[in-house]
Structure 1
Amino acid sequence: MSEPLNFRREKHAGVADGRLGLVAAMALVMGNMIGSGVFLLPATLAPFGWNAVAGWVLTTAGAVVLALVLARLTRALPEAGSPSGFVTAAFGPTAGFFISWIYLVSVWTTVATIAVAAVSYLSNMFPALSAQAFRPALAALVLVWGLALVNLRGVKAAGNFQIVTTAVKIIPLVVVIAIAAVLFATGKAQVLPVDAVPVKPASINAAATLTLWALLGFESASIAAARVRNPKVNIARATLWGTALTGGLYLLVCSSIALLLPMQVAAASPAPFATFVARYWNPAAAAMVTVFAVVSCIGALNGWTLLQAEMARDMAERRLLPKWFSATDARGTPLRAMLISTGIASLFVAMNGSRSMQGLFEYLLLLSTSATLWLYLACTLAAWRLRIGRVLALVGAVYALWTLWGAGIGASGMSFILMALGLPVWLWMRCRERI
């Protein structure tokens, strides 16, 4: 007797035959979006008051629109393989290379930054980690290479690890929402007055730009398209559902903390999640927030480690990087791309470990974050040119430009430096084709 259809679907929802099912692809999207930033963002947004709530609403809506554009492109052009593949299909290999390159550099710096953030949280639990200047960088390097080893075991190991860590990191978000719900139900909630901070378009734009940093990564399933089962269906669903769920959780969680904690307390807190839980529930439970923050960072680091190798492999298969990067081992893992990418990310960790280069690293991080916005803008323009979901593409392009403006002319404009870094590679690849 054949198995029931719903059972077959459930069995293949996670990771099987070396590819990610729907649940694993959603875990990749949500796990990469929910990293270290959400645990600090309420403090950053506290001075904005209700502007932050409006910013979250606009950011979540904008991210969902961009996710819809990616979903439409994936269904129309499954052979393109990735967001940068859509750009190549619309504007040619030159545009595809530079958008791919700037995004790849941003992934390398993201891996380094998440590792450093994880060590920062760990140092609260183990002060010896920060006792000497070199220890945080060394610990971050151990995390970077440890997660690389997990990914070298294959997509199945990385995917299952992502599912578990994503499930764990959602727990503190649900706890905060439950506490807020109890406060409202019992009438104990004292919400920040609307007029405590003037609601202005400029403030909403600034808050929305900050909140977007926490939602970066919804393109993760599209980047790893070659590792997703039934990509034409599962990538679209994972991207849309993962983005909507994460955006909804962020809206409820960050708004609850920013509006229920006194503004001065929230803004000054180095750990607003823990402060909220300690104030309205239990100090002992608040101590566990650090553990969840570490797990959140490690889960995000696992997902971004997968992406950095997949991005390099995808570029190599589209002849935007040397073919050497596309080689895979018996498990289907792009071994060379993983090792080289992890090595480059390690250099960024080392830069962060050097006090003399700290400012340079932070500036490069700001540029790389802005670089992700260029990928989103390029995908919306590609959809417009290819006549795929043009209304959504237009709205998405306007939103991407709006957030680029909110990021500041300096960060958005200077992100072209990252593109220029790829020029020698592009010229070398073109020379090799002519030989």
Structure 2
Amino acid sequence: MTSTAALPAETTAPPEQGRDPHARRFGLPIATCLVMGNIIGGGIFLLPASVAPFGTISLVAFAVLTLGAIALALVFGRLAHRHPQTGGPYVYARAAFGDFAGFLAAWSYWITSWVSNAALAVASVGYLCVLFPAIGEHKWSMCLAALAMQWLPALANLAGTRYVGAVQLVATVLKFAPLLLVAVGGLFFFDPANLGPFQATGQSPAGALSASAAILLFSYLGVESAAVSAGEVRDPARNVGRATILGTAGAAVVYLLGTLSVFGLVAHEKLVASEAPFTDAVNAMFGGTWGGTLVACAAVISMAGALNGWTLLSAQTPYAAAKDGLFPRAFEKKQRGVPVVGVVVTTSLASALTVYNYTAGSEGVFEILVLVTTFTATVPYLLSTAAQIYFLLSGQGERVQRGRLVRDGALAVLAFGFSMWLVAGSGYAAVYQGVLFLFGGVAVYAVMAARRQRSAG
């Protein structure tokens, strides 16, 4: 295990990739879209109906979670200022606690990203069937549609960071148009009588708050997106923090206003049973049944944009770890600003899992692995916030006035508590299975560490 000194406290990003017209580093707008697009996938289109059974107390839970997510975003901003490198949580954990902690962060984040990509692609098929009913007539046509949803963003990634940024910007703009239509326009049609009770269950306020929060807990996964791709962001010490905060805040506004508007547009009894709450909201605003097509288009665009961003992130963490000898060297290969091996390998793994889902049925390993990611996604958050606490308490923080030091410390503690809440919300089964899955990577670390030792000898 290396010492903390193995990774300097301040590093510089790689030089501008000006010679390759296909490789272009992201400015603040694209980095912000990356964060927003990765946080908001397709789940928002079902979210209001998922929490409606608990009553409007779920809005309070959402507000609490938003504060935790913003605290986490601020911590990532400070960490990215200190270490403006590609890899995000991996870089921070390794700098604070050495190679093994860094590997665990990289391994867990990598597992989370490609399994989540498979789940997102499978979920998108339901919306594609609304637009193209023939897709839903056979499981293999559905499987091919899910694979296409994975490989089209992968091809955009392989074309270069210039095209990744362009796709992300277009997808973010297109998907937010209908979301903002409901989130903002819906307030003009808002009917308080539709809200239903504050508590719709017989639980205590604390119990209802926790139960609804358990569903909402993972709505903000992706706040680290700009930090993971810091090496591809212009002036990362400045722009990564800004993009993280702006992207998280923007996603929070859409989440909160969108959920509130749907609550006020659709009667509570109907919303609880709704399979397409945003469709029902649009129909309530304008009448007719064209809302289903609009929402299906927005959902497909939303998921395609999220897959575009997450495909890049799924390759960036193993790329950073490979540069330090903690992942196979093949992951270090980069073309046009993109880790090509990482993109191909992770997309292939996600595709294999997708094919398994359609051949083995809707139950089995696929669901278990998706459940595991609810735990593995929080491991990098815990290690990153612990790293920030370590930097501050060990005197490695920047020389700033005491007030700012206290503020950074309070944010780190709050973000650490938020990360622990994410773990608790995963459930016993996810934590148990996630730990087994996480420790499976120890064998990989042993092989890579032994290889490094032989090379050094």
**Distance verdict in 2 for CA 1:81–1:114, change over 3 Å:** closer
Query: For residues 293-331 of structure 1, what are the alpha-carbon distances to aligned partners after superposition, in whole Å with 9 as ceiling and x for unaligned?
Result: 1111111111111111112211211221022211112x2
Q: Does structure 2 retain, via aligned residues, the 8 Å contact 1:169–1:296? A: yes
Q: Does structure 2 retain, via aligned residues, the 8 Å contact 1:316–1:326? A: yes
1:327 maps to a residue whose letter is K
The offset of 1:165, in angstroms, is: 0.5
1:157 aligns with 2:163: yes
Query: For residues 220-276 of structure 1, what are the alpha-carbon distances to aligned partners after superposition, in whole Å with 9 as ceiling and x for unaligned?
Result: 111111111111111100000100110121011112213542222112111111011
Match of 1:86 in 2: 92
Match of 2:411 in 1: 392
Q: Does structure 2 retain, via aligned residues, the 8 Å contact 1:114–1:301? A: yes
Query: For residues 106-152 of structure 1, what are the alpha-carbon distances to aligned partners after superposition, in whole Å with 9 as ceiling and x for unaligned?
Result: 10011111111222210122122121122211211122112111111
Query: For residues 45-85 of structure 1, what are the alpha-carbon distances to aligned partners after superposition, in whole Å with 9 as ceiling and x for unaligned?
Result: 11011221011101111000001111111112335751111
Alignment of 1:201-350 (within 5 A): 201-286=206-291, 287-329=293-335, 331-350=336-355
Match of 2:449 in 1: 430
Query: For residues 196-224 of structure 1, what are the alpha-carbon distances to aligned partners after superposition, in whole Å with 9 as ceiling and x for unaligned?
Result: 44661122122223223221111111111
Deviates more, 1:244-253 or 1:137-146: 137-146
The offset of 1:156, in angstroms, is: 0.5
1:42 maps to a residue whose letter is P
TM-score (norm 1): 0.91
Q: Does structure 1 retain, via aligned residues, the 8 Å contact 2:42–2:299? A: yes
CA–CA separation in structure 1 for the residues paired with 2:187 and 2:99: 51
> Structure 1 residue runs of 4+, over 6 Å off?
none
CA–CA separation in structure 2 for the residues paired with 1:296 and 1:382: 33
Deviates more, 1:25-34 or 1:346-355: 346-355
- Of 389, 396, 407, the match for 2:426: 407
The offset of 1:284, in angstroms, is: 4.2
Which SS does the other structure have where 1:374 is aligned? helix
Match of 1:74 in 2: 80
RMSD after superposition: 2.0
**Distance verdict in 2 for CA 1:145–1:50, change over 3 Å:** same
**Distance verdict in 2 for CA 1:190–1:343, change over 3 Å:** closer
Match of 2:8 in 1: none
CA–CA separation in structure 2 for the residues paired with 1:268 and 1:51: 18
CA–CA separation in structure 2 for the residues paired with 1:79 and 1:168: 30
**Distance verdict in 2 for CA 1:118–1:432, change over 3 Å:** same
Q: Does structure 2 retain, via aligned residues, the 8 Å contact 1:179–1:281? A: no
1:116 aligns with 2:122: yes
Match of 2:13 in 1: none
Match of 1:64 in 2: 70
**Distance verdict in 2 for CA 1:196–1:358, change over 3 Å:** closer
Q: List alignment gaps of at least 5 residues for structure 1.
A: 1-11
Which SS does the other structure have where 1:84 is aligned? helix
Match of 2:3 in 1: none
Match of 1:6 in 2: none
**Distance verdict in 2 for CA 1:270–1:354, change over 3 Å:** same
CA–CA separation in structure 2 for the residues paired with 1:202 and 1:372: 24
Match of 1:4 in 2: none
CA–CA separation in structure 2 for the residues paired with 1:378 and 1:106: 15
Q: List alignment gaps of at least 5 residues for structure 2.
A: 1-17, 398-407
Q: Does structure 2 retain, via aligned residues, the 8 Å contact 1:370–1:412? A: yes
Which SS does the other structure have where 1:375 is aligned? helix
CA–CA separation in structure 1 for the residues paired with 2:364 and 2:344: 27
TM-score (norm 2): 0.87
Q: Does structure 2 retain, via aligned residues, the 8 Å contact 1:209–1:407? A: yes
Which SS does the other structure have where 1:20 is aligned? coil
Match of 1:354 in 2: 359
Q: Does structure 1 retain, via aligned residues, the 8 Å contact 2:374–2:426? A: no
State the percentage of identical aligned residues. Answer: 36
CA–CA separation in structure 1 for the residues paired with 2:383 and 2:62: 23
